[in-house]
Amino acid sequence: DQQVKQNSPSLSVQEGRISILNCDYTNSMFDYFLWYKKYPAEGPTFLISISSIKDKNEDGRFTVFLNKSAKHLSLHIVPSQPGDSAVYFCAATAYGQNFVFGPGTRLSVLP
């Protein structure tokens, strides 16, 4: 049973528009959430994170929102750029030891 779910395997958006990637989790013990970006033939790279005591964290074009009551988080990318095309993984951890990843969402930003 997946503890971290990303129900959209893929997403396509136009350049300049907003990309919204969603993630749901089931384990209420998770207290820290992260988003990773992965290009083909490379390792995942850290993008942005949020602690469970916050509901929003922003870093440039990237914003992560956390809704603890719904066990849901989302990553907003505004404006989307062709270089953002990649697979995005949502991850969660309890106490920072084990990191559980979702299956990923492939984002395609169309010029």
Partner 1 sequence: DAGITQSPRHKVTETGTPVTLRCHQTENHRYMYWYRQDPGHGLRLIHYSYGVKDTDKGEVSDGYSVSRSKTEDFLLTLESATSSQTSVYFCAISAFSGNPGELFFGEGSRLTVL
Residues that bind partner 1 (CB under 8 A): 4, 6, 9, 31-32, 34, 36, 41-46, 49, 51, 89, 91, 93, 95-104
Q: Measure the CA dihedral 39/83/8/40, to 10°.
A: -10
Q: Which two tokens stand for residue 27?
A: 């384990």
| Least Cβ distance, residue 59 to partner 1 (angstroms) | 13
Non-local (6+) Cβ contacts of 66 within 8 A are 33, 50, 52, 54, 55, 56, 72, 73
Q: Which is nearer to partner 1, 20 or 94 (CB)?
A: 94
| Least Cβ distance, residue 29 to partner 1 (angstroms) | 13
| Least Cβ distance, residue 96 to partner 1 (angstroms) | 3
